[in-house]
Chain A
């Protein structure tokens, strides 16, 4: 506190009076000084007020400006859980068959989780949950509720009835999270094609569904793409045909006492797989766990049509014959040495059950009678180099490019070196393995007038524009020779009146793990083309370890096992494919020309 100076200090007034000056001037002077001090003080405080006011205005305007900026920059709608437009649907796309019938779709269900802190009576909740879900154990649940964790998943999916029962427990610690569940309404139908799916990353509000096998895994990125979630993935399968093929195949596996089997039905012009079945099968809604021990082929998850890499036996003979005709080495009527047994170095090449079809046999008869020796001689004419190029062009050396994740791992097996003995054995399908799908693709390439076919599981409308591997004339001759196999050769049980089935049987003994062959374990294959006069479809049926036991001794040749199954499949599937049976005059003419 400053000392207040008096306006009229006595000392100065007396002094001024002595000098005769006016003492009032001193008072005015002092008053003026005092006012100046007061003015400076109030000016200072006014300045401070102004600064504070300016700062608060500045702050307020900055805040308003920033808020306006964020509002302008952000999305103008409230975030919503459900949306009206299908185009921004977050779900996984459906999978449908070629006619738009559903193979895989989604269903909204709920997952059950527990916030243990909010549980009022953990013991009662554990008891009632165990009563609703018989697979849950009351003691384990109670232990988990009370061991200190705050969050716990109980079930990944609930049915509406179960959800209602859980609601009725009425404990605030029990909570539901929405879940998109993958549903395969047709059960086991096309299980090996679809594969399966499971939950990936899981949150309370949603969980991602990821494909775990088959097409679901191969096309995972496409199915999960939000931009395409509204458009279903259209496969080339036909549910009706697929069901018929699976029905006949599973009956065939049972009747022929086989361990398993596979069937592939392919459109030869487009390469579309109309049906792909493998047995035994499984339910993709409840996909079993991957096997951890034993043979992988014993699991129902094993897709024999794609993953089953077998020696396919005599079905390969038609490749040697058609290549030799294409190269101009023989015609179907050319007589070839077929005198069995044939010796090549230390190897002895025999016919089935020690027959001798020789000494000379026409190429057409070699195919019809399935002569190993005759095929061996044809293969020696072709030579290993050209044979390898041809087999490779048919796709028999590479994993099938079909849209299944398993296909990449099922690369056909072939010898690293290719000496002449391999040329001979490969010509009748020994020492070289492939999957039934590989074989179907190769047959489709022949039946498609010699233009290479790429197999696909997705709907394709345009015919194949592949490279030409056989001339059209040779392709026709090859189908004609295969027709003779059915009319008068090893596949006589395969004749379906009206559909002019052509095909080639194959029987191969299974290889032992350590080397050598089993004699009572075979793989029977029938690769067929129908109708022979204008090939539309290729059907390959493979049975794993079949034996037909109606006769006095078990029969294990394809003609007795795979062929009747294939014939029944054609009988059932061809009408469903819209093919009307034909009177076979035209194809008979062709056969006479071939036979001469």
Chain B
């Protein structure tokens, strides 16, 4: 009985050692991965700040004013004037619905003629 115990405990020690070895390297790999990701984040953060600066640079009022002047014939942009403020009452009401929908009797009439046509010429539809 005792030799079996010895062999089992020896095998257990071997297995634990193997497990610890694997864990050690897995941990180191994760740490390296975290470092890489953090470097990437730092790089992205830096490029984000550059993008922000560039966005601000491209949107500087001087440039926008020049662009509005250059493209005046297409955009027709002018500085905002007090007269451009409006009230809700000045906005036109939406156009009335189209007149064709209104006569309900008419649709029945049309349906009647269509039915009549379908009945009048049942084979006509099949002739080529």
Q: Which residues of A approach B to under 8 Å, CB–CB?
A: 80, 82-84, 86, 101-102, 105-108, 183, 185-189, 239-240, 243-244, 247, 496-499, 571-572, 574-576, 580-581
Cα A83 to Cα B35 with chains together (Å)? 10
CB distance from B57 to the nearest CB of A (A): 4
Q: Are A496 and B53 in contact (CB under 8 A)?
A: no
CB distance from A381 to the nearest CB of B (A): 41
Q: Are B60 and A574 in contact (CB under 8 A)?
A: no
Cα A432 to Cα B37 with chains together (Å)? 64
Known contacts: A239-B61, A243-B61. The answer to whether A84 contacts B82 by CB under 8 A is no
Q: Are B56 and A102 in contact (CB under 8 A)?
A: yes
CB distance from B80 to the nearest CB of A (A): 4
Contacts of B55 in A (CB 8 A): 102
Contacts of B60 in A (CB 8 A): 185-187, 189
Q: Are B53 and A580 in contact (CB under 8 A)?
A: no
Contacts of B81 in A (CB 8 A): 571, 575
Cα A102 to Cα B59 with chains together (Å)? 10
Q: Closest 10 CB pairs between A and B?
A: A243-B61, A82-B42, A185-B56, A185-B57, A102-B56, A84-B41, A84-B38, A581-B82, A580-B85, A575-B80
Is B50 engaged at the interface, CB distance under 8 Å to the other chain? Answer: yes
Contacts of B59 in A (CB 8 A): 101
Which residues of B from 51 to 91 have beta carbons under 8 Å from A? 52-57, 59-62, 65, 79-85
Q: Are A244 and B56 in contact (CB under 8 A)?
A: no
Cα A187 to Cα B57 with chains together (Å)? 8
Cα A576 to Cα B79 with chains together (Å)? 9
Q: Are A185 and B82 in contact (CB under 8 A)?
A: no
Contacts of B9 in A (CB 8 A): none
CB distance from B44 to the nearest CB of A (A): 9
Q: Are B53 and A107 in contact (CB under 8 A)?
A: yes
Question: Could you name 11 residue pairs across A and B whose Cβ atoms are closer than 8 Å?
Answer: A82-B43, A84-B37, A105-B49, A106-B49, A108-B46, A183-B53, A243-B61, A244-B79, A574-B82, A576-B80, A581-B85
Q: Are A499 and B82 in contact (CB under 8 A)?
A: yes
Is B107 engaged at the interface, CB distance under 8 Å to the other chain? Answer: no
Contacts of A240 in B (CB 8 A): 61
Contacts of A183 in B (CB 8 A): 53, 57
Say which size band chain B's interface belongs to.
Answer: 20 to 34
Please name 15 further chain A to chain B contacts, defined as beta carbons within 8 Å, in addition to the given A107-B53, A108-B50, A189-B62, sorted by A numbering.
Answer: A84-B37, A84-B38, A101-B59, A105-B49, A105-B56, A106-B53, A107-B49, A185-B54, A185-B57, A189-B61, A247-B65, A571-B82, A572-B79, A575-B81, A581-B83
**Shortest Cβ distance from B39 into A: residue:** A82
Q: Which residues of B approach A to under 8 Å, CB–CB?
A: 37-39, 41-43, 45-46, 49-50, 52-57, 59-62, 65, 79-85
Contacts of A499 in B (CB 8 A): 82
Q: Are B80 and A107 in contact (CB under 8 A)?
A: no
Contacts of B37 in A (CB 8 A): 84
Contacts of A186 in B (CB 8 A): 56-57, 60-62
Contacts of A575 in B (CB 8 A): 80-82, 84-85
Cα A247 to Cα B119 with chains together (Å)? 78
Q: Are B52 and A102 in contact (CB under 8 A)?
A: yes
Cα A107 to Cα B50 with chains together (Å)? 6
**Shortest Cβ distance from A80 into B: residue:** B38
Cα A450 to Cα B60 with chains together (Å)? 38
Known contacts: A102-B52, A186-B56, A186-B61. The answer to whether A86 contacts B45 by CB under 8 A is yes
Most buried by A among B37, B52, B60: B60
Cα A105 to Cα B48 with chains together (Å)? 12
Cα A80 to Cα B49 with chains together (Å)? 20
Contacts of A185 in B (CB 8 A): 53-54, 56-57, 60
Q: Are A496 and B82 in contact (CB under 8 A)?
A: yes
Contacts of A496 in B (CB 8 A): 82
Cα A80 to Cα B82 with chains together (Å)? 55
Contacts of B61 in A (CB 8 A): 186, 189, 239-240, 243
Q: Are B56 and A101 in contact (CB under 8 A)?
A: yes
**Shortest Cβ distance from B46 into A: residue:** A108
**Shortest Cβ distance from B34 into A: residue:** A84
Cα A206 to Cα B4 with chains together (Å)? 66
CB distance from A176 to the nearest CB of B (A): 16
Cα A304 to Cα B14 with chains together (Å)? 83
Q: Are B52 and A84 in contact (CB under 8 A)?
A: no
Contacts of B49 in A (CB 8 A): 105-108
Cα A239 to Cα B85 with chains together (Å)? 21
Cα A244 to Cα B79 with chains together (Å)? 9
Contacts of A83 in B (CB 8 A): 38, 42
**Shortest Cβ distance from B57 into A: residue:** A185
CB distance from B91 to the nearest CB of A (A): 15
CB distance from B34 to the nearest CB of A (A): 9
CB distance from A110 to the nearest CB of B (A): 13
Cβ 8 A contact of B82, one of A101, A187, A188, A498: A498
**Shortest Cβ distance from A108 into B: residue:** B46
**Shortest Cβ distance from B38 into A: residue:** A84
**Shortest Cβ distance from B37 into A: residue:** A84
Cα A580 to Cα B45 with chains together (Å)? 41
Cβ 8 A contact of B62, one of A80, A101, A187: A187
Cα A108 to Cα B48 with chains together (Å)? 11
Contacts of A105 in B (CB 8 A): 49, 52-53, 56
CB distance from A281 to the nearest CB of B (A): 12
Cα A407 to Cα B84 with chains together (Å)? 38
Cα A344 to Cα B5 with chains together (Å)? 122
Q: Are B53 and A102 in contact (CB under 8 A)?
A: yes
CB distance from A247 to the nearest CB of B (A): 7
**Shortest Cβ distance from A575 into B: residue:** B80
Contacts of B43 in A (CB 8 A): 82
CB distance from A380 to the nearest CB of B (A): 43
**Shortest Cβ distance from A83 into B: residue:** B42
